[in-house]
Chain A
Amino acid sequence: MSAGKEGRDRGTPDKFGDERVTQGPRRGCPYTGKRCAGVEYHRPMSVSGSAGPRSPREIFLTFARIGLSGFGGVLFWIRRVLIQEKRWITDEELLEGLAIGQILPGPNVYNLSFMLGHRWFGLRGAFAAIGGLLAAPIVILVILGLLYRAYSDVAVLQHALRGMAAVAAGLLLASAVGMAATLPRRLVPWLFMLLAFAGVGLMRWPLIYVMAMLAPFAMYFAWRRQ
């Protein structure tokens, strides 16, 4: 998908500089010329140069949509909504945020959402993000849990879930492929990606050990390139 390249195109701060265009929804992106839904370049952020949400309320509603759509996992929807649709962040920023989210204890996407919300609107933004992310799914899960309690052998439900899980695995893979397109075309980052994959996916080592082994070297190489 071309989204990765678009993400990179708009990633540099100087490109935005003092551009303060407010685009209506469904208009062409001024930088790539591509059509994209609801793009608004109204408030360039000092750090990354990306436009962000206008209010905690917007954060809450957006993350509520992500949470509600996230059957079988949320990461796919975070990428689709925040990067491809809203353009609040880039693929690189998402990967960097995810890396921090993985190092911190707790659910990765929860940590990621908290930090994104905090970056935009401080604590209010952070709680808007996690509130939106969790509120509706918790209600749905409680209902499902009660249903399960009442009829603990819901064969139809389990079959449906199995089919959805297969699709969800595919969707996550599609996001990963899209994000891999944004990695620098150099040996070292791809090598670390492969090692991380092999350690956790093939060898089934606990993530915390693999992270502890790889992180110092990965950081050293990134440090040396600066």
Chain B
Amino acid sequence: MAQAVALFWHFLLLGCIAVGGVSTVMPDMHRYVVDELQLVSSREFADLYALAQAAPGPNALWVTILGLHAAGGLGAIATTVGVLIPATTFSYVASLLQAKHADSPLALAFRRGLAPVALGFMLASCWLLLRAVGHDWRSYAVAFAAVGVATKTDVNPLWLLAIGAVLGIAGLV
């Protein structure tokens, strides 16, 4: 219980500064949960991250299994709710501002100016993801084959993910 409370407050704080996504505060989560509280080992930390990356849903949900592993069900609730309270609050305020001032010049400049920046960050995520999965040329080949198929055909991408899983199990990736 005490651990869950401690996790909640720390993740609430990190949730307030996690601009750009939860992965930006990952180093501090590592410091707190692994080094300070010593609830999770460094290897488990990395394993849980990889697990959550590939599981369905927003990647940020890996704080849920981190909390679960660190302090059980209460820990899972503490980390998840802690991170999401600030996100919800800020999104709500942004929604209200958007609804009120959607067509003001400032809002337009904000949205249009930042759209390319957002795309650049997205490309950076692709790049970092590719680097992370790229053990050798085969993983790059799989990734770029996925780009080609997803761009050129209407195949349901779930099939591609399934093929990826099979290739992984077969040891080909």
Contacts and interface: CB of A to CB of B under 8 A. Distances in A.
A42 interface: no
A168 B129 contact: yes
Given A47-B102, A106-B86, A74 B57 contact: yes
Nearest to B143: A170
A197 B124 contact: yes
Contacts of B24: 206-208
Which one of B50, B87, B118, B132 has the greatest number of beta carbons of chain A within 10 Å? B118
Chain B interface mostly helix, strand, loop or mixed?
Answer: helix
Nearest to B173: A163
B114 A219 contact: yes
B24 to A, nearest CB: 6
Interface string A37-69: 000000000010000000000000000000111
A136 B64 CA distance: 13
B36 to A, nearest CB: 21
Contact of B69 (A74, A80, A130, A148): A148
Given A95-B118, A114-B88, A196 B124 contact: yes
A72 B124 CA distance: 16
A76 interface: yes
A164 B91 contact: no
Contact of A142 (B20, B64, B128): B64
B6 interface: no
A29 interface: no
Interface residues on B, range: 35 or more
Which one of A174, A210, A214, A221 has the greatest number of beta carbons of chain B within 10 Å? A174
Interface in A113-145: 114-115, 118-119, 123, 126, 130, 133-134, 136-138, 140-142, 144-145
Contact of A219 (B61, B110, B121, B151): B110
A176 B92 CA distance: 26
Contacts of A123: 92
Contact of A73 (B59, B112, B168): B59
Contacts of B4: none
Given A174-B151, A222-B109, A149 B69 contact: yes
B20 A207 contact: yes
Interface in B87-110: 87-88, 90-92, 94-95, 98-99, 102-103, 105-106, 108-110
B54 A207 contact: no
Interface residues of A, number: 106
Interface in A199-226: 199-202, 206-208, 210-211, 214-215, 218-223, 225-226
A143 B92 CA distance: 31
13 contacts: A96-B112, A98-B118, A104-B91, A106-B21, A118-B99, A161-B50, A166-B146, A169-B146, A171-B150, A172-B129, A183-B119, A190-B116, A215-B114
Given A105-B17, A144-B65, 10 more contacts: A98-B115, A100-B111, A102-B118, A107-B22, A119-B98, A119-B99, A163-B173, A164-B54, A170-B147, A208-B24
Interface of B: 15-22, 24, 44, 47-48, 50-62, 64-65, 68-69, 76, 80, 83-84, 86-88, 90-92, 94-95, 98-99, 102-103, 105-106, 108-130, 132-135, 139-140, 142-147, 150-152, 157-158, 160-161, 163-169, 171-173
